[in-house]
Amino acid sequence: MNPFNYSKPNDVSQAINLAGPATRFIAGGTNLLDLMKENIARPEHLIDITGLPLGDIRETPSGGVLIGALVSNADLAWHPQIEQRYPLLSQALLAGASPQLRNMASTGGNLLQRTRCYYFYDATVPCNKREPGSGCPARDGLNRIHAIFGASDECVATHPSDMCVALLALDAVVHVQGRSGERTIEFADFHRLPGAHPERDNQLADDELITAVELPAQGFAANSNYLKIRDRASYAFALVSVAAALEMDGDIVTDVRVALGGVAHKPWRDQEAEGVLIGKAASADHFAALADALLQHATPLEHNGFKIKLARRAIIRALSDAAAGGRAR
C-alpha cells in the first residue's frame, strides 16, 4: 500500500473542494481498501466522508424515497419502507456479500464497486482497466465469469453489484454534487460500457460525490423477485442474477422490468425485449419469449457460453416467482 494523505471534511462542499484525479472518497471502504492493499488502487489522498449528513432515508414529494449515500446496505435492506414498498431492492441487498460487509458498505459506495475480474486484481498481469493499452488477458484466457453483453476488445469484465441490478429495474436516479453544482443521472446512464476506455466505470467527474439515490413511487411491491445464481450459497458474486418486476391486471402483464447482473460491464436491461411481454398473460411460454428476445444478442466467450442457457432459465424462473408474489431465493 502506497503512502497517502487523509482528510475528514465537515460538510459536502468541503469534501468536494478537496477532490481531484488523485483522490478517492472513502466511506465503508469494503472495496477500496482491498484494492489499496493489493496495490491496484493507489490514491494520493483519501477523503473520509463518514461524518457528512448523508445517512437519511426519507419520502420525496412525488411519493418516492430518497436514500442518502451513507446509508449502510444492512440498514437499507431492513428499513421498513424498503422492505414493504421496494422488496426487490431489499432482496438484492440481502443476496450480496456477508452480514459483516453489509454493515459497513454504503449505498454510494455500492455504486462505485470495481469489477471482481481476477486479471484486474492480479497486478502481475496486464489489464486495460488498471493500465489502459496494456491488454486484456481475459479475452483469450479463463473467462468463465466474464461478459456476454456489451464487451469490447479492451475489456470483458462484469459489474459485481447485486444492489445495482435492482436499482436499474426500479428506474432509480442518482444524485451527485460537484464544484459546478448538483445534477441527477438516470441509473441506466450512470455506469459505462467499456468501449475504448474500460478504466472509466461511470459518468462521475473527478470532483463529484454521490449524495443520494432516489427511487420512484412505483416499487412493484406485489410482484417482484431477485434471483441470484452463484457457485456457492453465500458470499459469492453472481454468475447470473435477475431482478424481475411485474405490474399486472389479473393475469395480464401491464408493465415489466427485467435487469441482469453478472453478464456485462454494467447492470443490463433491454426495454425493447421487455415489450414482448406487455399485454400478454403471465405464463412460462411468454416469459420464455421475453428471455429469448433479451438474450438474442448475447456474445459469449470461450468459457462462458453456459451463461446464455443459465440466464434464460433464471429469467423464466424469476418472472414466474414474481408473478406469484415470490421472494428471494
Q: How many domains, the chain?
A: 2
* pLDDT for the residue numbered 328: 44
The mean pLDDT value for 61-68 works out to: 98
pLDDT above 70 as % of the chain: 99
CA proximity to 74, closest of 53, 100, 113? 100
**Total-model pTM:** 0.97
CA proximity to 240, closest of 118, 140, 129, 144? 144
How does pLDDT run across 235-272, given as a tens digit for each residue?
Answer: 899 999 999 999 999 999 999 999 999 999 999 999 99
Positive/negative CA dihedral, 8, 9, 12, 15? negative
Would you say residue 204 has pLDDT above 60?
yes
How does pLDDT run across 129-141, given as a tens digit for each residue?
Answer: 999 999 999 999 9
The three grid cell numbers given for residue 75, joined into one nine-digit string: 440498514
**Residue 217 placed within a domain:** no
Residue 37: burial class (beta carbons within 10 Å; 0-12, 13-18, 19+)? exposed
Sheet holding 45-48, edge to edge: 5-7, 45-48, 23-26
The mean pLDDT value for 169-177 works out to: 98
User: Which DSSP string corresponds to 201-266?
Assistant: -BS--TT-EEEEEEE-S----SSEEEEEE-SSSSS---SEEEEEEEEEETTEEEEEEEEEESSSSS
**Residue 82 placed within a domain:** no
The pLDDT mean for the chain works out to 97
How does pLDDT run across 180-192, given as a tens digit for each residue?
Answer: 999 999 999 999 9
**Residue 107 placed within a domain:** no
Would you say residue 214 has pLDDT above 70?
yes
CATH number for position 41: 3.30.43.10
How does pLDDT run across 265-305, given as a tens digit for each residue?
Answer: 999 999 999 999 999 999 999 999 999 999 999 999 999 99
**Residue 286 placed within a domain:** yes
- Work out the number of other CB atoms within 10 angstroms of the CB of residue 276: 19
**Residue 92 placed within a domain:** no
CATH number for position 258: 3.30.390.50
Amino acid at position 250, single letter: G
* pLDDT for the residue numbered 327: 58
Residue where one domain finishes, among candidates 16, 31, 48: 48
* pLDDT for the residue numbered 1: 83
| Residue 7 phi, psi dihedral angles, 5° rounding | -135, 150
**Residue 21 placed within a domain:** yes
Domain of residue 14, residue span: 5-48
**Residue 257 placed within a domain:** yes
* pLDDT for the residue numbered 270: 98
The alpha-helical segments, DSSP class H, found in the chain are 12-18, 32-37, 73-77, 80-85, 87-95, 99-104, 107-111, 163-169, 187-190, 271-274, 284-295, 306-323
**Residue 99 placed within a domain:** no
pLDDT classification of 329: cutoffs 50, 70, 90: very low
Q: Which residues pair with 48 in a beta bridge?
A: 26
Q: What 3-state class would DSSP assign to 53?
A: coil
